[in-house]
């Protein structure tokens, strides 16, 4: 079996398939061509680091976590169940959606994003408008679109709204 595999690799090399081509399939496209994609946001004209650069995953997940905990506490108080409200209740999701939509529409960042010095802008750098903010928030509440992203760290919810989450400093 191993000899047959080695013969196949030898035939592929003679056919013009290089190790880099195989590495691209096994290790992903970035490993095959380092530097081919540049930094996140480079295609959008954003800087690699500092203010206006695409926000990293850690701070973005932390911001969503802060927003969810705030929504959990508010929903618990509003529903009369106290602070022990289960995290999966519909009223928590409703409070989360309203909080993210209203604060992003008014100030360009949700509560958690503001704490972690992030903001949501259009790809051209302008402030995000109301309808794209609503679309983005709805897709964020569905969760799955936010978990599928591109090489510029933009989830499907950001792509649908033509927005990007950037650092403020």
Write down the pLDDT at residue 151.
Answer: 85
pLDDT given for residue 88 in this prediction: 64
Do 89 and 19 share a structural domain?
no
Least confident of 2-6, 68-72, 91-95, 101-105: 2-6
Q: Is the pTM of this model over 0.85?
A: no
Q: How many domains does the chain have?
A: 2
Residue 35's pLDDT is 59
pLDDT reported for residue 16: 62
Assess whether 17 and 100 both reside in one domain: no
The whole-angstrom separation of Cα 127 and Cα 110 is 14
Same domain, 12 and 59: no
- Model pLDDT, residue 91: 86
**Is residue 85 scored above 90 in pLDDT?**
no
**Between 41 and 168, residue with greater pLDDT:** 168
Does the pLDDT value for residue 10 go beyond 80? no
Is residue 94 exposed (0-12), middle (13-18) or buried (19+ Cβ within 10 Å)?
middle
The stretches of the chain forming alpha helices (DSSP H) are 2-14, 19-27, 29-32, 57-79, 90-107, 111-115, 130-142, 156-161
81 token code pair: 């169940």
Could you tell me if 115 and 144 lie in one domain? yes
- The yes-or-no verdict on residue 28 having pLDDT over 80 is no
80 lies in the same domain as 140: yes
In this structure, the answer to whether residues 63 and 28 fall within a common structural domain is no
The 10s digit of each residue's pLDDT in 56-82 is 889 999 999 999 999 988 888 887 776
**pLDDT at residue number 90:** 84
The answer for 35, left when phi > 0, alpha when psi is -120 to 50, beta otherwise, is left
Domain around 11: 2-36
Give me the DSSP letters along 102-126.
HHHHHHSS-HHHHHTTEEEEETTSS
Asked if pLDDT for residue 45 goes beyond 70, the answer is yes
If asked whether residues 17 and 59 sit together in one domain, one would say no
103-151 confidence digits (pLDDT tens) = 999 999 999 999 999 999 998 888 999 999 999 999 999 988 888 888 8
């Amino acid at each position: 079996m191993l000899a047959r595999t080695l013969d196949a690799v030898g035939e592929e090399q003679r056919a013009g398939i290089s190790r880099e081509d195989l590495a691209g399939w096994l290790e992903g496209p970035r490993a095959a061509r380092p530097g081919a994609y540049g930094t996140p946001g480079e295609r959008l004209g954003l800087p690699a680091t500092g203010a206006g650069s695409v926000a990293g995953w850690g701070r973005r997940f932390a911001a969503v976590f802060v927003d969810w905990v705030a929504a959990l506490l508010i929903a618990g108080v509003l529903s009369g169940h106290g602070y022990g409200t289960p995290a999966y209740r519909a009223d928590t999701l409703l409070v989360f959606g309203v909080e993210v939509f209203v604060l992003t529409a008014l100030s360009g960042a949700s509560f958690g994003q503001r704490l972690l010095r992030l903001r949501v802008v259009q790809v051209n750098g302008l402030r995000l408008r109301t309808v794209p903010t609503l679309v983005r928030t709805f897709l964020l509440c569905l969760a799955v679109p936010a978990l599928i992203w591109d090489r510029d760290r933009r989830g499907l919810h950001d792509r649908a709204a033509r927005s990007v989450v950037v650092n403020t400093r």
